[in-house]
Amino acid sequence: MSAGSPNDQSNNRLAEGDWEARLSSELAGLQGLADEVDGDPEALLLLLRRLEDLHRTIQDGPFRASLPADRGELFNLLQGMERSGGWPYIPRLQLRTFLDLLQSGDDTSALAA
């Protein structure tokens, strides 16, 4: 069979579906960890920091290494990223925002918003 046969394409989709199922399972596990420490800001902060570290490790390592060297292929990848939601950025909440809210008055209801 050739590399582009329907059976090969079907196997690739099955493997991709299996990978996505594994990813969903891992993410559900992380959500479970977050649920376990709900209400514990220090534990949740640790989780967020570890997730950000993982994001940077993947971004600077395997993702960057996997980028196409061909300009046309890179352009196609970037176009696809834009169509599917853009770059997966993890925004960092600014500590200054919390301090400003705390100094704006005794009303802490603004923090819940």
Which distant-in-sequence residues (6+ apart) come within 8 Å of 67 by Cβ? 74, 77
Q: How many CB atoms lie within 10 A of CB 60?
A: 10
Distance CA 42, CA 95 (A): 14
Q: Is the full-model pTM beyond 0.75?
A: no
Domain boundaries of the chain, sorted by first residue:
8-84
Q: For 9-63, how does the pLDDT look when each residue is reduced to its tens digit (9 = 90+)?
A: 556 666 778 999 999 999 999 999 999 999 999 999 999 999 999 999 999 999 9
